[in-house]
Amino acid sequence: MYEYLTGLVTVVAPQYIVVDVNGVGYKLLVANPYRYQEDRTKKVQVYVYQAVREDNISLFGFTDQNEKKLFMQLINVSGIGPKNALAILANPDHQGLVDAITNNNVNYLTKFPGIGKKTASQIVLDLRDKLTNESSSSLFATTQLTVDATVNRELKDALEALAALGYKERDIKKVQKTLMKEEQMATDEYLRQALRLLN
């Protein structure tokens, strides 16, 4: 239901933060609440996952979409609940976690609270292929599609949408050259034209 919340952090507690969004306080369970403590006068954007159970509705908060995505993958593993997943994500070395899973490093995973060898093996079994198949480790990659500075905003957005769909950068660059010769269009028109060219 929620993608993210933007507001002021009004409460930082050991397990959660409260984000005030236009006078409404949202309690978000987060991996490391104290990273939100530094400057409470600036608005923050926190990505959100809503968990609904028979007797409880909880909101979980994340610093970015990649952290949220990894959380969602973890809670889909048998034996991993939201609290276990948050404990795992509290370690700031998320790339180390991804490497441990893809390299079948069970010992690394058993260092997290509540994770025994059986659960660690299950994490590897369930997530190794998913994380290996992430295009060029895009889960925590810092490199993004580089677009020529002369490209207009609409075309840039369309090219970034192609990257998000999984098209390779070299293919996107070819399409970019063709589309730059066209008259300026809306983003969705650029995207439709680009998809036609690619297919």
Kindly report the pTM of this predicted structure.
Answer: 0.67
pLDDT digits over 102-148, tens only? 899 999 999 888 899 999 999 999 998 887 665 434 555 433 555 55
Contact 18, 28 (CB under 8 A): yes
Q: What is the pLDDT along the chain (199 residues), one digit of tens a residue?
A: 789 999 999 999 988 999 999 999 999 999 889 888 777 788 999 999 999 888 889 999 999 998 999 999 999 999 899 988 998 988 877 888 888 998 999 999 998 888 999 999 999 999 988 876 654 345 554 335 555 556 788 888 888 888 777 777 888 888 888 988 888 888 888 888 888 888 6
Strand, helix or coil at 145? coil
What is the rounded CA–CA span in Å between residue 169 and residue 97? 27
Token pair listed for 33: 């609440």
What is the rounded CA–CA span in Å between residue 24 and residue 40? 16
pLDDT value for 141: 46
What is the rounded CA–CA span in Å between residue 84 and residue 178? 49
Token pair listed for 39: 């400057």
Give the torsion sign (CA, 131, 96, 50, 61).
negative
User: Which value, to the nearest 10 degrees, does the dihedral of the CA atoms of residues 36, 38, 40, 45 take?
Assistant: -40
Residue count of the chain: 199
Task: Give all strands (DSSP E) within the chain, no chain letters.
Answer: 4-12, 16-21, 24-30, 44-53, 56-62
C-alpha separations of 113 from 27, 134, 171 in Å: 23, 27, 44
